[in-house]
C-alpha cells in the first residue's frame, strides 16, 4: 500500500477516526481499458479486553481527553494582499508586500509618505495610520483609513514618526508588528494593536520601514475531563432457601375433608 492505495487483492487499510466521518473509496483500473470490478469488505475492529482486567468485572468508561480546537484561519491570499506603499526620496513611489523592507538596512533613504492597500481586508478588522513631521504640516499626526496616502510627495519633507492602529471585533486574531529605522538610530521593532514609533529625539527622518501581519491561532478552552465511571453490577434477587410452606384457606380444607 502506498499513499492509501491498495494495489493487489488481500491487502488492507486500517483507518482510525476520532469523530463521525465518511470514508470515500475510489476504484480505478490498473491499466488503460482494464476492469474496475472490485470486492471491498469493511470490518469494524475492537481492542478486546484490557490487560489484567478480570473477565467478569465491568469495564470502567475511559476518561475523555481535552481536545484542542482552533478557530478557522484566514486564507493565505488575504494576508498576502496587504501592500505597503511609500514615497521615497530619489526613488518615488515604492510598493512592497508584508514583511518586506522599504529602504531599510541595505539601502536607507528618507521616506516622505506612506499608504496601505488591502483589497480583501477582513470585515471584522479596521486599520488606520498617521505620520508625523519635524515641523507641523497639514494632516500631521492625523489618522487616515486604509487606502489613503499620508504624507507628502516631492517636498523633501521626511517622516519623523509613524503610528498604526488596528480595531474591530477580529483584532485579537491578528498579530501586527512594525520594524523601523530612523537616521542614526538602531532598528526598532514594535508589535501590538497600536504602534507608535519615532527616533530618539523625535526629529530623526524615517529611513526604513517594514510591516508584518500574521494571524494568531486562537485556542478554544479545552473540555473539562470527566471522571471515570464504573458500572455497578445489578443486584440479583435473593434466592429463598429452606422448606416451602403451602397455605390453604378453610373452605378448601373443608372440601378436602368431605
Calpha distance 43→30 (Å, rounded): 25
For position 68, what pLDDT does the model report?
A: 44
In the chain, where the domains are located: 76-215
DSSP for 157-226 reads --EEEEEEEEESTTGGGEEEEEEEEETTS--EEEESSEEEEE-SSS-SPEEEEEEEEEE--PBPPPPPPP
Calpha distance 66→86 (Å, rounded): 48
Task: Burial-class residue 82 by CB neighbours within 10 Å (0-12, 13-18, 19+).
Answer: buried
For position 6, what pLDDT does the model report?
A: 74
DSSP for 105-142 reads SSS---EEEEEEE-TT--TT-EEEEEEEESS--TTTT-
Digit-by-digit pLDDT tens for the chain (258 residues) are: 456 677 677 777 787 777 667 677 777 777 776 677 777 777 776 655 555 555 555 545 444 444 444 444 455 456 778 999 999 999 999 999 999 999 999 999 999 999 999 998 999 999 999 999 998 888 889 999 999 999 999 999 999 999 999 999 999 988 899 999 999 999 999 999 999 999 999 999 999 999 998 887 655 455 555 565 565 555 555 555 555 565 565 655 555 555
For position 177, what pLDDT does the model report?
A: 94
137-146 contacts, C-beta under 8 A, 24 or more apart: 146/116, 146/117, 146/118, 146/121
Q: Tell me which residue of 75, 73, 72, 94 sits closest to 85, measured CA to CA.
A: 94
Cβ distance 214 to 175 under 8 Å? yes
Indicate the Cα dihedral angle 71, 77, 79, 84, nearest 10°.
-170
Cβ distance 162 to 206 under 8 Å? yes
For position 70, what pLDDT does the model report?
A: 40
For position 242, what pLDDT does the model report?
A: 56
Q: Tell me which residue of 109, 157, 95, 101 sits closest to 132, measured CA to CA.
A: 157
> For 65-103, what is the HEC assignment?
CCCCCECCCCCHHHHHCCEEEEEECCCEEEEEECCCEEE
Amino acid at each position: 500500500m502506498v499513499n492509501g492505495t491498495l494495489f493487489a487483492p488481500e491487502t488492507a487499510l486500517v483507518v482510525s477516526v476520532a469523530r463521525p466521518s465518511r470514508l470515500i473509496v475510489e476504484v480505478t483500473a490498473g491499466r488503460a481499458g482494464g476492469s474496475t470490478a472490485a470486492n471491498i469488505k469493511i470490518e469494524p475492529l475492537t481492542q478486546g479486553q484490557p490487560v489484567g482486567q478480570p473477565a467478569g468485572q465491568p469495564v470502567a468508561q475511559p476518561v475523555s481527553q481535552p481536545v484542542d480546537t482552533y478557530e478557522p484561519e484566514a486564507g493565505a491570499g488575504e494576508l498576502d494582499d496587504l501592500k505597503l506603499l511609500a514615497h521615497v526620496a530619489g526613488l518615488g513611489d515604492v510598493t512592497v508586500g508584508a514583511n518586506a523592507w522599504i529602504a531599510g538596512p541595505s539601502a536607507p533613504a528618507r521616506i516622505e509618505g506612506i499608504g496601505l492597500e488591502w483589497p480583501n481586508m477582513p470585515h471584522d478588522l479596521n486599520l488606520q495610520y498617521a505620520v508625523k513631521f519635524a515641523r507641523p504640516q497639514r494632516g500631521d499626526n492625523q489618522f487616515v483609513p486604509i487606502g489613503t496616502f499620508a504624507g507628502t510627495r516631492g517636498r523633501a519633507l521626511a517622516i519623523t514618526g509613524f503610528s498604526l492602529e488596528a480595531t474591530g471585533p477580529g483584532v485579537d486574531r491578528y498579530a501586527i508588528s512594525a520594524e523601523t529605522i530612523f537616521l542614526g538610530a538602531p532598528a526598532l521593532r514594535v508589535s501590538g494593536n497600536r504602534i507608535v514609533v519615532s527616533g530618539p529625539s523625535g526629529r530623526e527622518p524615517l529611513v526604513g520601514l517594514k510591516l508584518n501581519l500574521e494571524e494568531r491561532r486562537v485556542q478554544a478552552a479545552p473540555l473539562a475531563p470527566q471522571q471515570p465511571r464504573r458500572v455497578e453490577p445489578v443486584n440479583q434477587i435473593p434466592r429463598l432457601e429452606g422448606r416451602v410452606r403451602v397455605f390453604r384457606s378453610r373452605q378448601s380444607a373443608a372440601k378436602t375433608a368431605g
